[in-house]
Amino acid sequence: MARRYDPDRRQRIIDAAIAVVAERGIAALSHRAVAAAADVPLGSTTYHFATLDDLLVAALRQVNRGWLTGFARWVDGIDTAAPLADEVIRLVEETLAGDRSRVVLEYELYLAALRHEAVRPIAAACLDEMVRLLGRRTGDLPTARAVVAFADGLLIQHLLTGRPFDRATVRAGLEGVPA
């Protein structure tokens, strides 16, 4: 039987892995589940991604590209005349008001680095890029790192608790952060 030319197969497998995690969570990620979702033979998933960690790395890289694009857009749109606290509030509000399932997926893949050592450098690189991007605005990398950590914490807490977003609490938490 002739081998079928399928140049998009690897990308379909990555997209399917992301879809599996989005629909059923990280625990459901397997070569078999991804092969079924991508409509490819099981051997194709293991050919392109020998381990699940390899697949997680590819999925997180793709998801991070989208997250960083949005984050860079936020940084570029920062009103330099406004207090940085107001701009962080805008970031968190816009993120929480957007597609919740997308944000949950992003954090689920990001937090997979806690259990999958191969994924840690990808998650760390994303954080470092966020700090670098925000550091252009703050002129201070330690402040940028603290603001990124604060925003991350707020987003995770709101996703976990479902509590309403409270601008005053965020503003108070960022009081004294240089603009």
Average pLDDT value over all residues in the chain: 91
Query: Looking at residue 13, which CATH number applies to its domain?
Result: 1.10.10.60
> 4 pLDDT exceeds 80?
no
Q: Are residues 43 and 78 in the same domain?
A: no
DSSP character string of the chain: -PPPP-TTHHHHHHHHHHHHHHHH-GGG--HHHHHHHHTS-HHHHHHH-SSHHHHHHHHHHHHHHHHHHHHHHHHHT--TTS-HHHHHHHHHHHHHHS-HHHHHHHHHHHHGGGT-GGGHHHHHHHHHHHHHHHHHHHS-HHHHHHHHHHHHHHHHHHHHH-PPP-HHHHHHHTTT---
pLDDT digits (tens, 9 = 90+) for 105-119: 999 988 999 999 999
Q: Are residues 91 and 137 in the same domain?
A: yes
- Give this prediction's pTM: 0.86
Q: Are residues 156 and 69 in the same domain?
A: yes
> 1 pLDDT exceeds 60?
no
Q: Are residues 103 and 69 in the same domain?
A: yes
Tally of structural domains, the chain: 2
Look at residue 108 and tell me if it is in a domain.
yes
Query: Looking at residue 121, which CATH number applies to its domain?
Result: 1.10.357.10
pLDDT digits (tens, 9 = 90+) for 19-59: 999 999 999 999 999 999 999 999 999 999 999 999 999 99
Q: Are residues 22 and 66 in the same domain?
A: no
Q: Are residues 2 and 58 in the same domain?
A: no
Q: Are residues 60 and 28 in the same domain?
A: no
Q: Are residues 30 and 57 in the same domain?
A: no
Q: Are residues 55 and 33 in the same domain?
A: no
Distance CA 75, CA 29 (A): 33
Q: Are residues 2 and 76 in the same domain?
A: no
Q: Are residues 96 and 16 in the same domain?
A: no
Q: Are residues 82 and 135 in the same domain?
A: yes
**Domain range for 139:** 51-173
